[in-house]
Amino acid sequence: MRPPPELHAPHPAEHHFDADVLVLGGGPAGAWAALTAAEAGASVILADKGYCGTSGATAPSNTGAWYLPPGPAREAEAERRLAKSHGLADKRWILRVIDQAWQSLDDLAARGYPFPIDEDGRPYRANLRGPDYMRFMRRRLDKARVRVLDHSPALELLWHDGCVAGAAGIRPRDSSRWQVEAGAVVMATGGCTFLSRALGTDGNTGDGYLMGAEAGARLSGVEFSSQYGVALFDASITKGLSFMFANFALEDGSPLPEGADRASRIARALIEGRRVFGIMDKGTPQGHAWLRQGQPNTMLPFDRAGIDPYRQRFEVTLRSEGLVRGVGGLELVSDDCATDVPGLYAAGDAATRENLAGAVTGGGSPNASWAMASGSWSGRAAARFGMAQRSVVPRPVRALGGAGLRPTTRPFLEAGEVTRFVQGETLPLDVNFFRTGARIAESRAALDAAWADIRAGLAGEGRGLVRAREAASMAATARFVWEAAALRTESRGMHRRLDLPDEDTALDDRIHVSGVDRIAAGFRAASLEAVAS
């Protein structure tokens, strides 16, 4: 059995709310969860760190989505994804996601979402324009009478009698506190990029991972967090589609070092201190025109820099996409996206996507489809669970948050200091893109030592409190990552071990991680025993 969570008196709050379901996070997964719960008859509140409809990684981007009606194409796509997953995906889940995405996209069309028209004059439903999509979802939430708390980051979960019972947070603009007591919570707070500056991810600081772990939830797949995207040097857009037209070389025109894939070849050169340049001299003028029309934001960095990428060389870098385009997150124990903590569900990048992607990125259509599917499933299940709690009155709640919220000594750490330290253990290519056992051990030791100080002396007020909690969440996420990575003594998917370059079939299983101050990790069959010890 897991140890009981650490309980605290809730901080006094100026704003109190009650709901059957509380959704944390206003990206696509959170929006679908809130909408589905409301349509199931639940009273729903959604709290977003930013403004729901414009915040998150999807809002400033275009994304593909799986739109595959029943038939052979579904089976072929599921087999293709399964073959790429390095033995960790589940074909049944892949097919479930494809089916739910198809239904959700048809639902969007039926509700009036303006899909583009293809060359044959038919709606093309396999593409979503991020700004339009999220604005449309916000309007649907408003019509469904979902109460949205914008600019209201959650800081901690609430607890009652063995169940998650809501959350508490802050409104940074006036430093007022809010508290929502709810029958069920859907964690849709996104992944974690450790503030790498990848487009739309500055709010993705692993908040949901820490909050879930504080409630006793397990995480899974977090060792698969070393996804990096190619970007124009000093730009934030990491969408890979534009670079399908590019060839890359070193500054002097010589070929890149040899490697298994493009990102690995670029990473090796950058680690050696060499500059890498690209030029989009592949494809046709028609393809180039399609890119600008269909994915216009991918061309903005070039336009702003005054570069014609089809005729001029441009310098590139790799930017971490962490657990946004990585894989891991809160472990799911049922088809309805429940975690192993009663009353807590997970959706989108806050949840593990191993069932869908295995050990490789699900970025693009799989992740966009996963957001629709996991949001819909978790929202429906949370509504059932939450409405069943209506008879449990009164429900005196306790708070679960620790690091960054309740220092055990006089505060002596600043959030910026902690963030810079954590970035040093997560972002560098020679630390995280290519890994070694010795470097993993070094990061584990450094983060464990730092955690003692974070737990003791990290705090803040107003916006500073949000930054402190984000810094603590990033530190916790880094500890989860390296604890799992230490157990995976092989190379598999994006977990690249220079000292152990081969895949080991004896390790064809998932690694669970749990705990906060004391982290336990183990392969799935032994994970519960490891936690209990």
The fold of 15-225+323-399 is FAD/NAD(P)-binding domain (3.50.50)
Identify whether the C-beta of residue 470 lies closer than 8 Å to the C-beta of residue 190: no
- Enter the DSSP assignment of 71: S
308-367 tens-digit pLDDT: 999 999 999 999 999 999 999 999 999 999 999 999 999 999 999 999 999 999 999 999
- Name the residue type at position 11: H
What is the average pLDDT across 8-16?
A: 96
Q: Phi and psi for 125 in degrees, rounded to 5? A: -100, 10
- According to DSSP, the β-strands at 176-187 and 163-171 are antiparallel
Q: What is the dihedral of CA 6, 9, 15, 16, to 10 degrees?
A: 80
Q: What is the pLDDT of residue 395?
A: 78
What is the average pLDDT across 383-394?
A: 86
Q: Phi and psi for 170 in degrees, rounded to 5? A: -140, 155
Q: Which two tokens stand for residue 139?
A: 């309007």
Q: What is the pLDDT of residue 393?
A: 59
State pTM to two decimals.
0.96
CA gap 478, 192 in Å, rounded:
9
- With 0-12 / 13-18 / 19 or more C-beta atoms within 10 angstroms meaning exposed / middle / buried, residue 107 is middle
Q: What is the pLDDT of residue 532?
A: 32
* DSSP helix/strand/coil, 294: helix
Alpha-carbon distances, residue 364 vs 174, 319, 361, 388, 450 (angstroms): 37, 16, 9, 36, 35
DSSP assignments along 99-133, one per residue: HHHHHHHHHHHHTT----B-TTSSB--SEEEHHHH
Q: What is the pLDDT of residue 116?
A: 86
CA gap 474, 225 in Å, rounded:
13
Q: What is the pLDDT of residue 531?
A: 37
CA gap 474, 209 in Å, rounded:
9
Task: Give percent of the chain with pLDDT exceeding 70.
Answer: 97
Is the pLDDT confidence value at 259 over 80?
A: no
Q: What is the pLDDT of residue 529?
A: 37
Is the pLDDT confidence value at 528 over 70?
A: no
What is the average pLDDT across 151-179?
A: 97
- With 0-12 / 13-18 / 19 or more C-beta atoms within 10 angstroms meaning exposed / middle / buried, residue 331 is buried
Query: Any residues with CB less than 8 A from the CB of 187 and at least 6 apart, and which?
Result: 24, 25, 208, 211, 212, 330, 339, 344, 345, 346, 347, 350, 351
Task: Give percent of the chain with pLDDT exceeding 90.
Answer: 86
- Enter the DSSP assignment of 430: I
The C-alpha angle 91, 95, 96, rounded to 5 degrees, equals 115
Query: Any residues with CB less than 8 A from the CB of 232 and at least 6 apart, and which?
Result: 301, 302, 305, 307, 314, 315, 316, 317
Lowest pLDDT segment from 68-82, 231-245, 362-376, 498-512 = 231-245
Name the more confident of 527 and 478: 478
- With 0-12 / 13-18 / 19 or more C-beta atoms within 10 angstroms meaning exposed / middle / buried, residue 355 is buried
- According to DSSP, the β-strands at 44-47 and 15-24 are parallel
Integer-rounded Cα Rg, in Å, for the chain is 22
Name the class of domain 228-320.
alpha beta
- With 0-12 / 13-18 / 19 or more C-beta atoms within 10 angstroms meaning exposed / middle / buried, residue 156 is buried
Is the pLDDT confidence value at 2 over 80?
A: no
DSSP assignments along 449-485, one per residue: HHHHHHHHHB--STHHHHHHHHHHHHHHHHHHHHHHH
Give the pLDDT band of residue 530 (cuts 50, 70, 90): very low
Is the pLDDT confidence value at 295 over 80?
A: no
End-to-end CA distance of the chain: 9
What are the residue boundaries of the structural domains of the chain, listed by start?
15-225+323-399, 228-320
Average pLDDT, the chain: 94
Is the pLDDT confidence value at 1 over 80?
A: no
218-255 tens-digit pLDDT: 999 999 999 999 999 989 988 877 888 899 999 999 99
Of 343, 355, 409, the C-alpha closest to 82 is: 355
* DSSP helix/strand/coil, 280: coil
Please tell me the number of Cα atoms within 13 Å of 322 on its side-chain side.
Answer: 35
Dmax (CA) of the chain: 72
117-162 tens-digit pLDDT: 888 888 899 989 999 999 999 999 999 999 999 999 999 999 999 9
Is the pLDDT confidence value at 382 over 50?
A: yes
Identify whether 394 is preceded by a cis peptide bond (ω within 30 of 0).
yes
Identify whether the C-beta of residue 67 lies closer than 8 Å to the C-beta of residue 228: no
CB < 8 Å & 24+ apart, contacts of 502-511: 503/86, 505/87, 508/87, 508/88, 509/88, 510/88, 510/220, 510/221, 510/354, 511/220, 511/221, 511/222, 511/223, 511/484, 511/487
Q: What is the pLDDT of residue 533?
A: 29
Q: Which two tokens stand for residue 73?
A: 């194409």
* DSSP helix/strand/coil, 429: helix
Same fold, 15-225+323-399 and 228-320: no
